[in-house]
């Protein structure tokens, strides 16, 4: 039944249903504008009730041209209605399916991806993780502008070095650190956007598999078919970086938009105000050698030297008087110090218990969103109570207000400490056994 609190709108049609409730298309009677209303059945449990309300709270604070706009929210008769912007262009998943075998143009890919990054960076700047970025949750307006939507799985963290540990997301888009039962931060959203970018480039998912075990192993090893060779090198390099299995090695969205190899291409597809927010990278040192060095080396002879070990060579200058003499030692076979060794790699294989659990599960579930929490301290949904580790130095206490929800000026590249007991698999086992 259409409640009195929604009398200003007329129902057009139901456009989707899910475990949360349903989504309907409505028309405002006064302006004739169309909107989408998310109708959520409110639980009777008080803590779950607060979690259901938090999506509306979070969405109301996300004001950005590349995020679905919040209009208003109502609550009555154990139902919550969230009224938001209607994106008439559908979602990216629909567009990808419509393409069939016709590839998107590079300009289209770069434009959409730049807008995705701009919207997701706005979220990260406010210490929010979306946790369910996928082509089905990315929408298009009638003029082709990208909008991020569906914040039902999002959570807010209490610091730039905080982390989350609940399993949240759609398996095909979940980062390896989550499968590996490790804490995670905004780099998990970067991985998910890498999956969407790959889909735009190839019209297929990067980690296709016939079983859960195969899917998880491919994700945890970062094993995906390479992009088509006709795509720009910068785009291929970016996908490779976004699919680094160690989250510390993945670029942040700030880096992608400002100082990555693909940044120049992306900035051309951002609106004028976006270009000022993401300025051109700093001037790089010249790659050309200086004239002085070239002059010195022009008359240099390569000779063996008693003063250098048998594994080295010396350049000696025989230039005219007054020229700066130069001697360059090139030690062949020199060993790299222990301090410069590569950082510890993340385990390449997911837990055996997880593979055993999913062995008989249907792979069709890999396209659905899951939220699996630990028995204690769960991160149930949007704007859940913050969780994380302590950071060095004093940090302002989190306050949910407009002043706090402003973009940070520094790069959001973050680090996090591992947690010894972050086991969501007990809950996962219950879910899969029930199905």
Cα separation of 167 and 427, whole Å? 10
Per-residue tokens: 202: 């190839």
180 is catalytic: no
The distance from CA 338 to its chain's CA centroid, rounded to whole angstroms, is: 33
| Burial class, 367, CB count within 10 angstroms (exposed 0-12 / middle 13-18 / buried 19+) | middle
| 8 carries a ligand binding annotation | no
Q: Which of 35, 44, 54, 113 is nearest to 79 (CA)?
A: 44
Burial label, 289 (beta-carbon count in 10 A; 0-12, 13-18, 19+): exposed
C-alpha dihedral (187, 191, 193, 199), degrees to nearest 10: 170
- Distance (Å, whole) CA 108 – CA 194: 16
From 91, 125, 132, 150, active-site residue: 132
Question: Residue 19, class by beta-carbon neighbours within 10 Å (0-12 exposed, 13-18 middle, 19+ buried)?
Answer: exposed
DSSP characters over 176-234: HHHHTT--B-THHHHHHHHHHHHHHHHSS-SS--SSHHHHHHHHHHT--PPPPTTS-HH
Q: Where is 36: in which H helix or E strand? A: strand 34-41
Binding-site residue positions: 38
Residues classed as catalytic:
132
Binding-site residue positions for ATP: 38
């Amino acid at each position: 039944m259409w409640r009195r609190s929604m009398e200003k709108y007329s129902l057009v049609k139901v456009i989707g249903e899910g475990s949360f409730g349903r989504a309907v298309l409505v028309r405002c009677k006064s302006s004739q504008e169309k909107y989408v209303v998310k109708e959520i059945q409110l639980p009777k449990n008080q803590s779950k009730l607060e979690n259901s309300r938090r999506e509306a709270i979070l969405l109301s604070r996300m004001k950005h041209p590349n995020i679905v706009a919040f209009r208003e929210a109502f609550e009555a008769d154990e139902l919550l209605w969230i009224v938001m912007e209607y994106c008439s262009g559908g979602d990216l998943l629909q567009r990808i399916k419509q393409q069939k075998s016709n590839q998107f143009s590079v300009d289209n890919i770069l434009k959409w991806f730049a807008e995705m990054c701009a919207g997701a960076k706005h979220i990260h700047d406010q210490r929010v993780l979306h946790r369910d970025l996928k082509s089905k949750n990315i929408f298009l307006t009638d003029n082709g502008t990208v909008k991020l939507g569906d914040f039902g799985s999002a959570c807010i963290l209490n610091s730039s070095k905080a982390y989350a540990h609940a399993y949240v997301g759609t398996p095909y888009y979940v980062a390896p650190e989550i499968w590996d039962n490790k804490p995670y931060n905004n780099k998990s959203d970067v991985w998910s956007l890498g999956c969407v970018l790959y889909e735009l480039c190839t019209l297929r998912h990067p980690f296709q598999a016939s079983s859960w075990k195969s899917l998880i192993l491919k994700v945890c090893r970062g094993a995906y078919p390479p992009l088509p060779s006709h795509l720009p090198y910068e785009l291929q390099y970016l996908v490779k970086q976004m699919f680094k299995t160690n989250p510390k090695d993945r670029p942040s969205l700030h880096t992608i938009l400002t100082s990555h190899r693909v940044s120049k291409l992306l900035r051309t597809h951002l609106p004028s105000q976006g270009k000022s927010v993401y300025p051109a990278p700093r001037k790089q040192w010249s790659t050309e050698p200086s004239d002085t060095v070239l002059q010195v080396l022009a008359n240099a002879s390569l000779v063996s030297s008693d003063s250098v070990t048998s594994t080295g060579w010396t350049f000696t200058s025989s230039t005219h008087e007054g020229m700066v003499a130069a001697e360059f030692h090139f030690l062949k076979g020199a060993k790299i110090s222990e301090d410069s060794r590569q950082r510890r790699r993340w385990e390449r294989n997911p837990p055996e218990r997880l593979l055993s659990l999913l062995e008989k599960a249907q792979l069709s579930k890999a396209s659905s969103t899951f939220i699996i929490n630990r028995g204690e301290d769960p991160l149930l949904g949007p704007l859940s109570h913050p969780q994380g580790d302590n950071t060095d130095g004093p940090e302002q206490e989190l306050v949910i207000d407009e002043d706090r929800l402003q973009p940070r000026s520094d790069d959001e590249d973050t680090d996090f400490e591992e947690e010894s007991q972050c086991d969501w698999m007990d809950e996962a086992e219950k879910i899969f056994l029930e199905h």
